[in-house]
A and B are shown apart, each in its own frame.
Chain A
Amino acid sequence: MNPDISANPIETRRSTSNRHVKIIRPPSFSPLKLLGNLVLLAQYRDLLLALSAHRVKVRYKQSVLGLFWAILQPLSLMLIYTVIFSLVARMPSEGTPYAIFSYVALLPWTYFSTCVTNSASGLVSQPQLVTKVYFPREILPMSYVIAALFDFLVASTVLAGLLLYYRVGLTLNALYALPIILVLTMFSSSVAFVLSATQVRFRDIGLAIPLMLQLWMFVSPVLYPLNSVPARWRTLYLLNPIAGVVENFRRVILMGASPDFYSLGISTLIAVILLPVTYIYFKHVEATVADII
């Protein structure tokens, strides 16, 4: 007998009565199954956390600047836009210095674009996991969302520095930033579900994303204030959920005002509807994703 083996005897079988019976059938939709999926996801929360931590660790391993990269991206964008839009061309910034005006919007925007860029390839970049082991697949795109949220928090420290530097005082309204980020996270997850699931069949998604994000940023009030959008276009404009999120994030932090509930309401409504719909779509694709990846 090998001593290695006898050293750790396996626990004797527990009673068979508490076993969970699982029935697998061809894919079909039922609300009960959706609930079951959520329970399963909850059981795998340790994996979600481990994978998210893994994303962060791997991204910055063997890089000299390490975590500083999380700050560098919004910071350098801010510097570039500040040079262009406050020195070269004049862009209205509602009376605040353009640097902080743009940074406070680039922060949630970078969070969103990092989520989308990384999570879209969440399934296709890991065929060895998808075809060899089972776990709820939504964990893959979700782990990128959580990792991006972590980067967002790191980059927020620069915002704190800018607020101090420009002597902008926070008001209690700044607490609205939390539900606003929640709405943004819900919307980012929806986009992540759709893109990662669709990219399994159509790799065009990955190629289209940089262009799509570029356009998306210009139809969101990141570099300019919402009130420079003509009033008659504004409702149409606000159908982009990012618009309401970014504008209100800036409002509650920089202006110290309470959020504009009309624009935030539209964003929230869209996010609340999209999340379950995209999740169901994702789970539908998941059933056969290993066959076509």
Chain B
Amino acid sequence: MTIDLKFEHVSKKYRVRQRREDYRSRHPILRKLQSLRTRAGDFWALKDVSFEVESGEALGIIGHNGAGKSTILKLLSSITAPSAGEIMINGRLSALIEVGSGFHPELTGRENIFLNGAILGMSRRQIAARLDSIVEFAGVRQFLDTPVKRYSSGMYVRLGFSIAAHLDPDILLLDEVLAVGDAAFQEKCLQRISEVKRAGTTIVFISHDLAAVERLCDRVILLQRGQIIASGAPHEVIAQYESALSPAKSAQVEEALANQEKLAEVRALTFQDVTGRNVSVVQTGEPFSARLDFLAHERLSDAVFELFFYGADGEQECQFTTEVSGERIDLNPGAGTIEFSGSGLGLLPGIYYTDIVIKKRGTPKFYDWTQFNYTALRVAPGKLVRGKYYMPHQWRLIKEGASDDRDVTEAAMNNVAS
């Protein structure tokens, strides 16, 4: 496997000017001169960072604001230079750091496509060859010769992403590109990125959208104060980040873990659509199922399985459980699968994190708990309704004067109601 990107002991220092108040002169000109001489403090945005990305791999970079994520992308795309260390880039690299950043409001959509494409490093001929697909993807054909200042913000973003998504580089850098646009367009973007990845493009992806990171990336790096503190499989690193993210949750985790008795463990959680195919995206209102693979280490009597869904804001949205209905579950040692299924998914479009608990009914003890961030589920727009959730429902039109007896009575009730 060839290495496409390599960071070797890279550091980036920013100078931060600090004015020392006690030495300030009263005269404004002297003060100005003093401020030119003030000591600049050093701020290390990255400190001795080393990592490699293999060809065709998708690397996710996560971390708090100010952890150094964007600095890495700025170094990779040559926007700024490192203070120490060496960066190796093998192939043509394109960066999409902010959608539509090169647009000029006075120019038309067409003119902006050529200008923006050129800024991103495409030749005029390359852009002309891709013009149709760019316009098609962005859905702005009607407005191609309208100045972009008359575009809606949605159109603006779609066009910006579309240009960058058609660059066809060897290495693609993406920074928070999904922070904009509606859920449907975000989904379209994610699909496009997956497509680009399947074609063999190496991807470096920075996002706060952890579900998207988990879905796209093969490996994730967690940054903290300019240093890599974790690197590995997406769900492990994301879980580590999540637990560090909320101190309240980590306190809860500590407390709860005291009750853990690891007699069973969660192996995997997968989602299926109506055909039984494994999917990472489910549409609102569509039939779906969730399969939970587990392993029991001993004989467990009266076990309960619980599957929680949390929204992106950390709020608990809903729960599937074997506790309130159905037969009692007694497990023999070995692997097994529990399937939850529903005729119509109630969750509205968005990202949901799952949490799984296997416990014994009626005791505080539990056998396994995934600690808040297990698999992520992305819900795409399907049957859209207003309100907080979709409620599976049927309807029929009841004709007045129909011969069927039941219809007559219902029609009569309908009349009363109106």
- Which residues of A line the B interface, CB within 8 A? 2, 4-5, 7-13, 16, 19-27, 44, 46-47, 50-51, 54, 57-58, 61-62, 128-135, 287-291
Contacts and interface: CB of A to CB of B under 8 A. Distances in A.
Contacts of A47: 118-119, 121
A51 B121 contact: no
A10 B124 CA distance: 19
The CB with the most chain A CB atoms within 10 A, among B79, B107, B115, B168, is that of B79
Given A2-B191, A24-B89, A58 B106 contact: yes
Contacts, number: 138
B79 A5 contact: no
B130 to A, nearest CB: 8
Nearest to B130: A8
B101 A129 contact: yes
Interface in B1-54: 2, 14
Given A7-B133, A47-B118, 19 more contacts: A5-B195, A19-B91, A19-B170, A21-B89, A22-B89, A24-B78, A24-B88, A26-B81, A46-B118, A128-B98, A129-B102, A129-B119, A132-B101, A132-B102, A134-B77, A134-B78, A134-B95, A290-B79, A291-B14
Nearest to A48: B118
A54 B82 contact: no
Given A11-B168, A47-B118, A132-B97, A54 B104 contact: yes
B82 to A, nearest CB: 6
Contacts of B106: 57-58, 61-62
B95 A133 contact: yes
Given A54-B111, A58-B107, A23 B87 contact: yes
B114 interface: yes
Contacts of B74: 131, 290
Interface residues of B, number: 54
Interface of B: 2, 14, 55, 74-75, 77-93, 95, 97-98, 101-102, 104, 106-107, 111, 114-115, 118-124, 133, 136-137, 166, 168, 170, 188, 191-192, 195-196, 199-201
A234 B362 CA distance: 103
A24 B115 contact: no
Nearest to B86: A25
Given A2-B188, A133-B95, A288-B80, A24 B75 contact: yes
B170 to A, nearest CB: 6
Nearest to A13: B200
13 contacts: A7-B133, A9-B199, A23-B86, A23-B87, A23-B88, A24-B81, A26-B83, A47-B121, A50-B118, A54-B111, A130-B79, A134-B79, A135-B121
A290 B80 contact: yes
Nearest to B133: A8
Contact of A58 (B14, B104, B168): B104
A168 to B, nearest CB: 40
